[in-house]
Each structure stands twice: as C-alpha cells, then as structure tokens.
Amino acid sequence: MSAFLALLQRDLRLALRQGADAMLVILFFVLAAVLYPFAVGPEPGLLGRIAGGVVWVTALLAALLSLERLFLADYQDGALDLLALAPQPVALMVLAKVAAHWLTTAVPLIAAAPLVALMLGAPSETILPLMAALALGTPSLSLIGAIGAALALGARRGGVLIPLLVLPLYIPVLIFGAAAVEAAASGAAIYPPLAILGALLLAALPLAPLAAAAGLRNALR
C-alpha cells in the first residue's frame, strides 16, 4: 500500500507541475459542448433534452485526449523500466497511475459538468444524477483507457491507435451514463442504470490493471 500511495503522490505532483495539460482537457470539454447549439439550433427544448448525452460524449472525448500521456513520459525516460523491476506487481503500479489520471482529469470534468449542462438548458433535476453517473462511469473510462494506452505504448501512431482500441469498450459506459440522465429527466427510476455503471466499474477495477500490465510488459520487451 505504501508503494501505491508513493506512486500516486508522484504522479499527482507531476500532473500539478504540468497543469496546462489538465486545463486543455477542461477547455476542450467546454468548447466541444458549446459547439452543439450551433449544429442543432438554439431551441431550448431540444438542447435540454440532449444536454445529458452531450455532456457524456464530450466528457468521453476529453478523457481520450489525456490517455496517451498515461504511460508515455515514464516509458520515454526509463522510469517505467524501473517500476516494472520493482517487487510490487505491475498491476498495482497501473492502478496507481489510473487513480492519478482520474483525479487530475475526470474530477475536474465532473466539477465542470453541471455548469455545461445548465448552459445547455438541462433540467435542474438531472444535475445530481448526471454527476452521480459521471462519478461512477469516469473511473471505468480511465481503467479501460489504461488498457489501450498500454497496448499502444511504443507504437508509431499510438495517439491514433488508442481511440480505435478503447472507443468500442466505452460504449456501454456511455449508454448507461446517458440513460441515468434521461431517466431523471423523464421521472423514471435512475437506480438501474447507476447500478449497471457500478457493476461495470467493479468488473473493470480488477481486470483492467491486469490487462494493462500485460500490455506494458509486452511494450518493455
């Protein structure tokens, strides 16, 4: 556990030193959401109905922007080789880096999501379900994204390859995340889609670090 916390603190410090990367993710999230009214029209009723889906799609795409740097810097400077030789399991190292990625990327997105949703005209009763869905769904996005980042590590076009690998796996999270917001807007029960998001997270939590660790070992050969 001490090794996990030490690596988590290290990655958080590095992310704070490179704060511009996190700001770019938030800026992309906001700007991408702002473009939707120009495409579909400024009609408030329409924007309010699609606001939850817009927030989820833009949050998903914003999370994709930061996946390439999940392991790349440590791979280039040799730190990843040293971490792989440590007595701790590689999967534990992956989990620490995923936790740092979620804290520095997804948490700011969750904080900005209510403002973006209200700006698009989302009903106020959908804000809390939206934040709950994002809180349950975004860890799965980071965990699944770690698999793609590990598999594409060292590839010539890794930045293009990662979205191709992870986007199909993101679809269930996107569907049930948007379904929770839609259920809140229509007055239906929000717990079934939230429960499915929780189940997806519980499945990804043990499996994704193991799969990403196997990808890292292959990249370090």
Query: pLDDT digits over 60-95, tens only?
Result: 998 888 887 788 777 777 777 777 777 788 888 889
Residue 26 has pLDDT above 90, yes or no: no
Burial class (CB in 10 A: 0-12, 13-18, 19+), 175: middle
H-state helical runs in 18-89: 19-40, 44-65, 72-77, 79-85
Burial class (CB in 10 A: 0-12, 13-18, 19+), 84: middle
Say which residues have a Cβ less than 8 Å from residue 134's Cβ, sequence separation at least 6.
Answer: 55, 56, 59, 106, 109, 110, 113, 177
What's residue 55's pLDDT?
A: 92
- CB crowding 108-129: b at 16 or more within 10 Å, else e: bbbebbbebbeebbbbeebbeb
71, containing H or E segment: none
Q: pLDDT per residue over 150-195, tens digit each?
A: 888 877 776 778 888 899 999 999 999 999 999 998 888 899 999 9
Say which residues have a Cβ less than 8 Å from residue 136's Cβ, sequence separation at least 6.
Answer: 177, 194, 197, 198, 201
What's residue 133's pLDDT?
A: 95
pTM: 0.89
Say which residues have a Cβ less than 8 Å from residue 39's Cβ, sequence separation at least 6.
Answer: none
What's residue 74's pLDDT?
A: 77
Q: CA-CA distances (angstroms) from residue 155 to 67, 68, 169?
A: 14, 11, 20
Share of the chain above pLDDT 90, in %: 36
Gap between the Cα atoms of 206 and 213, Å rounded: 11
Gap between the Cα atoms of 107 and 29, Å rounded: 13
Say which residues have a Cβ less than 8 Å from residue 31's Cβ, sequence separation at least 6.
Answer: none
Listed by start position, the domains of the chain span: 2-219
For residues 133 and 182, the answer to whether their CB atoms sit within 8 Å is no
Residue 202: pLDDT band (50, 70, 90) is very high
